[in-house]
Amino acid sequence: MFGSPGSGKGTQSKYVVDWLKIPQISTGDMLREHIRLGTEIGKAIAARMRAGSLVSDELVNQLVYERIHQPDCKRGFILDGYPRTTAQAQEMMRLLATMGAREVVIHLVVDYNVIIARMAGRRVCPVCGTLYNSVSKPPKVEGFCDLDGSPLSVREDDREEVVRERLAQYEASTMPLIEFFRKSSERLFEVDASKDRPEVVFGRIQQALLKAGVLNSGVLKSCSVSKDIPAGVA
């Protein structure tokens, strides 16, 4: 599943994991765990990081290969943070083919102006941590927390110039991957995630999985999350 900062990718991934009861595999989490445990792979990763080098595709591919062959992945899995390069994507396709599995690529498409407005409008209480949004969840008194009256602040990651830079980085790194899957995969689905509620966006993802042949309509109807989603969201 691909999605820019602010697209709701984390929320949608959790919906799919909870619904299909499959693991979400994070390459970042795996790298950190190997470093923590001091494994041979972890030592190699730490050495590259100390040298200021990126972790090689070969090493990341090896981690993914070992993880997706675990028993809990037999019914499927979501890859988080992988692939990040075209070379990784090619290796992923090869690995899946050896397992008799096929990919489904979900690309959450968003209007960047919507994301900038959404993220730049966020405010946080520095005391209690309550989040507000000047558009969707404004405080009762502008600029102050409803709960303790503290002045609200803007997180560094939510400043407009930072949001624009993060979106530019995402565009540069991810669009080549999307183009790769457009050419090499028959199951790339572009899902509009700009404005609707997360539940509605999830309904579109469910319909994409149904269209891809991953699910049948009986499974779709039995989904506990989708029962609150209005009909006809596809």
Q: Is the dihedral of CA 81, 84, 87, 90 positive or negative?
A: positive
**Catalytic-role residue among 48, 102, 164, 166:** 166
67 carries an active-site annotation? no
- Per the CB < 8 A criterion, the answer to whether 32 and 38 are in contact is no
**Catalytic-role residue among 118, 122, 123, 204:** 122
Contacts of 163 (CB under 8 A, 6+ apart): 5, 6, 115, 116, 119, 120, 157
SS3 content of the chain, % helix, strand, coil (to 5): 50, 10, 35
**2-3 and 105-109: which strand pairing?**
parallel
182 carries an active-site annotation? no
Nearest partner of 65 among 23, 115, 25, 116, judged by Cα:
25
CA distances from 92 to 116, 216, 230 (A): 32, 25, 35
Q: What CA dihedral angle connects 131, 133, 138 and 142, to 10 degrees?
A: 90
118 carries an active-site annotation? no
**Catalytic-role residue among 48, 84, 164, 187:** 84
SS3 171: helix
9 carries an active-site annotation? yes
155 carries an active-site annotation? yes
**Catalytic-role residue among 74, 75, 155, 211:** 155
Positions marked active-site: 9, 84, 122, 155, 166
